[in-house]
Chain A
Amino acid sequence: MIKDENYLKNIANFCIEKSIKNGSEAASVTVYNSVSENINIRNKKLDGSERSENLAVTLTTYIGKKKSSISSSNLNEKNLNNLVKRCVETTNNTPDDQLNSLPDKDLHFYGDKNLDLYDETHLENIEKIDFIKEAEEEAFSNKKIVNTNGSGFSQNKSNFVLANTNGFIDGYKTSQFTAYCEVVSKDNGSMERDYEYSSKRFFNELLSPKELGKKASEFAVRKLNPQKIKSEKIDIIFDKRIAKNFLSSFANAITAGTIAKGTTFLKDKLNNQIFNQEINIIDKANIKRANGSRYFDSEGVKVKELELVKNGIFSDYLIDTYNGKKINKKSNGRSSGTTNLYFKNGSISFKDLIKSNKKILYVTETIGRGANLITGDYSVGASGIIIENEEFAYPVSEITIAGNFNEIFKNIRLANDLEFNFSTNSPTMLVEGMVVGGK
């Protein structure tokens, strides 16, 4: 069982009071508790079970413009007392930074918490095993599936309380159910792996085990006997699970911190056309039951809906209190990053997207962290499928794709197949004319 709100609030209040007693002028504290239970299976047999209980506190104390933090998982009173002392002492020895402060009081979240982020459902281990076994059984019904890399089911419940000396004290419970199935296919000496994955706040919204196993096996089989293609410039369609990574890179490049430091290719680009005018990027925190939804950020600031890109024009940053001051803007509640970040749907169907050229590379997987956010250069390893005349023709692997975000962004076209399966979501994406490195 996770700890209730009162238990967490008591610890939070204890830390705040002790900080003030020890000489701190302001403070904020997060007390976090989670219980997660995982089951892993392999070849339809139990491989492992894991239960983890975490209880931790993070305290930040301020003296004048000095600030430091401390965190610990040992919450007995004696240890907490020592930690608070150490934190205040360290704060005293840390140099001033004029921008250090708690967030403005009037930005604090208040109001109803009605987003439905917690599912009471509890699955016993045996039920978790049954669920994920069914997925592997379905996957193995495909003759070319010869092994698994392991499949798993996890149930995570967590609760937290955030409090600060400006009177903010609030918290809420969330739940997350995750199922994945990763299988290995084999044919003529070629061995490939692929997976399907589903993660939802509510158990009954997960992909069904059958669907999970079926997709994992289809994905692994379609990669078999890949070819290597010649280096060339080609139109690329990014599968949804890859397309969303472009949004993550974009988000990392537009935080107030990177903008203020100038360590992003999007510095000085606000209000400029950086995508074509069909593109809109939204970050919306208040979607019911969605994975990325939250009421407030890690500072207690309310998270308003942002139109980061409007008709292709770069329109807003992701701002927290500290870095906001560097760029003279108020926090918009993004100290914990984005919430539900997505591209709005494009105007054409997936079918029409693959008709747009005679030969298209459909990328289903990329490997490597190939995004340089300072220069905007992008280069990753990839595998996928060649589409010829609207048909999936043959798989390709051991290729690279490269470009620069400044150009890639302008050449993006989106299908109209957006779904909210993760916290960051994209419709299928076409990028015209990217360089593929092959033979």
Chain B
Amino acid sequence: MSEFLKNTDLTLNRAEKIVSDTLNNCDDGELYIEETNTESIILDDNKIKNSNYSTDSGYGFRAVTGDVVAYSHSNEISEQSLINSSKNLASTHIKSSGMYDFEIKKTNQKFYNDIDPIETKSLASKIELLKSMNEYARSRDSSVKQVTANFLGEKKNIEILRNGGELLKDNRPLVRINVSIMVEKNGKKETGIYGVGGRQSYDDFLKDENWKKICDEAYRIANTNLESKPSPAGEMKVVLGPGWPAILIHEAVGHGLEGDFNRKKTSVFHNLVGQKVASDGVTIIDDGTIDKRRGSLNIDDEGTPTEKTILIENGILKNFMQDRLNARLMKTKSTGNGRRESYKHVIMPRMRNTIMLNGKNTQEEMIKSVDHGIFAVSFGGGQVDITSGKFVFNCTEAYEIKNGKIGSPLKGATLIGDGPSSLKEILMVGNDMMLDPGIGTCGKAGQGVPVGVGQPSLLIDKMTVGGTQL
């Protein structure tokens, strides 16, 4: 029984009929219905700046024929609206080759609980906690000039109605807690930002004064940056710390392994399956099945159960990440990577939790082996050009390495590299794999979806560092 049709004039039978009448002439498609509640509470400049609650519901109706996708969405869930969408979808139809018969596997897998993180903690207690975080951060020392802290909670319930009446459901909680601290000493200002999150309740992160650790980390980064000196410019060796720096993997290789870019042959990896694309010892997976992680999903947004997909194994390219459309056209199966930001957005192959697995080296060995280079511990964000393979990311915490030792912190530098070549330039893979703290949002074609990353420490032979010191 559908939960969403309860307060509408649309019965499940009627919806099924409209869906099958529309999709019988197509290769694939579905009716996706979603209801999302979000709450954001921000403390800024010593005050609760705003508390915002929003509810959004609607449907997206998709008809796929050949490689053509027709999509129509509306936030009015009614029979008339669905009929209008059906007509609109028909307007771009071409000849179908017959319904895609790739059945969706049934699953009972659950990687998170059906809880509503907004309702399980009262507004008053959230406000109190933000105030405590503000006071605590400011009490660290007088250099702390600004504190911004915010809670972002979401509960997204989805239903997917397929041709033939199959109804698939998922209920997804998500929280994120962020702290940003600005410090000022001798006229020099720097910020430190730290956050945590996942598909669970706020209290899992905040209990036992764990929130202090979030403030401490933001404070530590801000203070480190106060001591920073201008970054060098040019090509050098780079040691990446474990955890969040894996956004390098996400940008440098992850996007290039998404099915759509490879079907369209616009990715540098499109003809390299079975070939060696990375150094020995490099294994990268995309895993939607890790408990309570930000990028985990019970089923993807097409209803396919998520899985642990091996992308690169010991340097050899094994698989791309697929949704149903690209899998069908590339004659393979969906890997459960079909995702969308909301009912307003079309499905695309997207990453979940993208992780490089452990190797044998220690971080110490890596640092020791570098005469002149940088040690990058944390990044602000990254971007990639799929076609040329070039990617960048901005360091928010980095140090110089001189003669095998970690030196002074460096001012926000940009690293730029080439995805395929940096994979081959990995000299050492660490044994200290860590997942990120749960804060990643990946953007693609204007759609943001929550993702996770993870990696051990890595030593990369050469990357270009964008500093100001020649």
| Chain A residues close to B by CB (< 8 Å) | 42, 45-56, 67-74, 76, 78-79, 83, 86-87, 90, 93-95, 97, 125, 147, 149-150, 184, 191-193, 223, 228, 231-233, 260-263, 326, 367-370, 372, 374-375, 377, 379-381, 383, 397-404, 435-439
**Are B189 and A374 within 8 A (Cβ)?**
yes
- What A residues does B47 contact at CB under 8 A? 95, 97
How many Å lie between the Cα of A403 and that of B416 in the bound state? 16
Residue of A nearest to B182 (CB): A263
**Are A439 and B466 within 8 A (Cβ)?**
no
**Are A73 and B55 within 8 A (Cβ)?**
yes
How many Å lie between the Cα of A242 and that of B394 in the bound state? 18
**Are B73 and A368 within 8 A (Cβ)?**
no
**Are B266 and A380 within 8 A (Cβ)?**
no
**Are B392 and A86 within 8 A (Cβ)?**
no
How many Å lie between the Cα of A421 and that of B123 in the bound state? 45
Q: Which of B87-95, B99-107, B201-209 contacts A (4 or more CB under 8 A)?
A: B87-95
**Are A47 and B68 within 8 A (Cβ)?**
yes
Select B466's contact among A68, A147, A400, beta carbons within 8 Å.
A400
How many Å lie between the Cα of A45 and that of B66 in the bound state? 12
- What B residues does A436 contact at CB under 8 A? 233
**Are B75 and A262 within 8 A (Cβ)?**
no
How many Å lie between the Cα of A86 and that of B245 in the bound state? 41
Select B92's contact among A49, A372, A377, beta carbons within 8 Å.
A49
**Are B416 and A398 within 8 A (Cβ)?**
yes
Q: With A87-B53, A262-B145, A375-B190 in contact, do A193 and B387 touch (Cβ < 8 Å)?
A: yes
Within 8 A of A (CB), among B224-242: 231, 233-235
**Are A399 and B44 within 8 A (Cβ)?**
no
Is B344 located at the chain interface by the 8 A CB criterion?
Answer: yes
Q: Which of A97, A437, A438 has the most CB of B within 10 A?
A: A437
Select A90's contact among B45, B53, B73, B385, beta carbons within 8 Å.
B53
Q: Which of B24-32, B407-415, B427-435, B449-457 contacts A (4 or more CB under 8 A)?
A: B407-415
- What B residues does A69 contact at CB under 8 A? 50-53
| Chain B residues close to A by CB (< 8 Å) | 7, 44-45, 47-58, 67-76, 85, 88, 91-92, 94, 123-124, 127, 145-146, 182, 184, 189-191, 231, 233-235, 264-266, 268, 344, 346, 380-388, 390-394, 411-414, 416-418, 464-470
A259 to chain B, nearest CB (A): 12
Q: With A367-B390, A374-B190 in contact, do A231 and B470 touch (Cβ < 8 Å)?
A: yes
Please list the 9 inter-chain residue pairs (A to B) with the smallest Cβ-Cβ separation, ordered nearest first.
Answer: A400-B466, A381-B392, A437-B233, A368-B392, A73-B75, A193-B387, A231-B234, A381-B416, A48-B69
**Are B390 and A71 within 8 A (Cβ)?**
no
Q: With A51-B88, A437-B466 in contact, do A380 and B414 touch (Cβ < 8 Å)?
A: yes
How many Å lie between the Cα of A78 and that of B6 in the bound state? 13
- What B residues does A260 contact at CB under 8 A? 45
A63 to chain B, nearest CB (A): 13
- What A residues does B393 contact at CB under 8 A? 368
Q: A97-B47, A263-B182, A403-B468 are in contact. List 13 more A-B contacts (CB 8 A).
A: A50-B70, A51-B73, A52-B74, A68-B51, A69-B53, A90-B123, A149-B264, A262-B145, A263-B191, A367-B390, A368-B383, A368-B394, A398-B464
A263 to chain B, nearest CB (A): 6
**Are B190 and A191 within 8 A (Cβ)?**
no
**Are B52 and A402 within 8 A (Cβ)?**
no
**Are A94 and B182 within 8 A (Cβ)?**
no
**Are A125 and B467 within 8 A (Cβ)?**
no
- What A residues does B58 contact at CB under 8 A? 73
Residue of B nearest to A40 (CB): B69
**Are B466 and A55 within 8 A (Cβ)?**
no
How many Å lie between the Cα of A179 and that of B88 in the bound state? 21
B355 to chain A, nearest CB (A): 23
**Are B412 and A372 within 8 A (Cβ)?**
yes
What are 10 A-B interface contacts by the 8 Å CB criterion?
A48-B71, A51-B85, A52-B74, A326-B45, A368-B416, A381-B391, A398-B417, A399-B416, A399-B464, A437-B467
**Are B189 and A52 within 8 A (Cβ)?**
no
**Are B418 and A398 within 8 A (Cβ)?**
yes
- What A residues does B44 contact at CB under 8 A? 261
B362 to chain A, nearest CB (A): 29
**Are A369 and B387 within 8 A (Cβ)?**
no
A80 to chain B, nearest CB (A): 11
B457 to chain A, nearest CB (A): 23
How many Å lie between the Cα of A238 and that of B64 in the bound state? 42
Q: With A73-B58, A147-B264, A381-B414 in contact, do A46 and B123 touch (Cβ < 8 Å)?
A: no
| CB contacts between A and B, total, < 8 Å | 244
**Are A192 and B388 within 8 A (Cβ)?**
yes
Residue of A nearest to B344 (CB): A52
How many Å lie between the Cα of A52 and that of B380 in the bound state? 32
- What B residues does A94 contact at CB under 8 A? 48, 51, 123, 127
How many Å lie between the Cα of A351 and that of B316 in the bound state? 50
- What B residues does A71 contact at CB under 8 A? 52-56
A42 to chain B, nearest CB (A): 7
Select A374's contact among B68, B182, B231, beta carbons within 8 Å.
B182
A31 to chain B, nearest CB (A): 13
**Are A380 and B466 within 8 A (Cβ)?**
yes
Q: Which of A47, A74, A400 has the most CB of B within 10 A?
A: A400
**Are A369 and B264 within 8 A (Cβ)?**
no
**Are A263 and B146 within 8 A (Cβ)?**
yes
Q: With A53-B73, A368-B394, A381-B390 in contact, do A147 and B189 touch (Cβ < 8 Å)?
A: no
- What A residues does B416 contact at CB under 8 A? 367-368, 381, 398-400, 437
**Are A402 and B45 within 8 A (Cβ)?**
no
**Are B346 and A48 within 8 A (Cβ)?**
yes
- What B residues does A47 contact at CB under 8 A? 67-69
**Are B70 and A48 within 8 A (Cβ)?**
yes
How many Å lie between the Cα of A78 and that of B414 in the bound state? 51
- What A residues does B145 contact at CB under 8 A? 262
B371 to chain A, nearest CB (A): 17
**Are A51 and B71 within 8 A (Cβ)?**
yes
Q: With A42-B264, A233-B470, A435-B470 in contact, do A369 and B388 touch (Cβ < 8 Å)?
A: no
**Are B45 and A377 within 8 A (Cβ)?**
no
- What B residues does A55 contact at CB under 8 A? 75-76
B330 to chain A, nearest CB (A): 15
**Are B73 and A52 within 8 A (Cβ)?**
yes
- What B residues does A76 contact at CB under 8 A? 7
Residue of B nearest to A124 (CB): B91
How many Å lie between the Cα of A435 and that of B57 in the bound state? 49
How many Å lie between the Cα of A301 and that of B386 in the bound state? 43
**Are A398 and B127 within 8 A (Cβ)?**
no
A39 to chain B, nearest CB (A): 8
A115 to chain B, nearest CB (A): 27
- What B residues does A51 contact at CB under 8 A? 71-73, 85, 88
How many Å lie between the Cα of A316 and that of B231 in the bound state? 33
A90 to chain B, nearest CB (A): 6
**Are A191 and B414 within 8 A (Cβ)?**
no
Select B387's contact among A45, A49, A192, beta carbons within 8 Å.
A192
Q: With A46-B92, A400-B464 in contact, do A86 and B53 touch (Cβ < 8 Å)?
A: yes
B159 to chain A, nearest CB (A): 16
- What A residues does B189 contact at CB under 8 A? 262-263, 374-375
Select A383's contact among B50, B390, B411, B413, beta carbons within 8 Å.
B390
- What B residues does A437 contact at CB under 8 A? 233-234, 414, 416, 464-467
**Are A402 and B414 within 8 A (Cβ)?**
yes
How many Å lie between the Cα of A380 and that of B417 in the bound state? 12
A396 to chain B, nearest CB (A): 12
Residue of B nearest to A72 (CB): B55
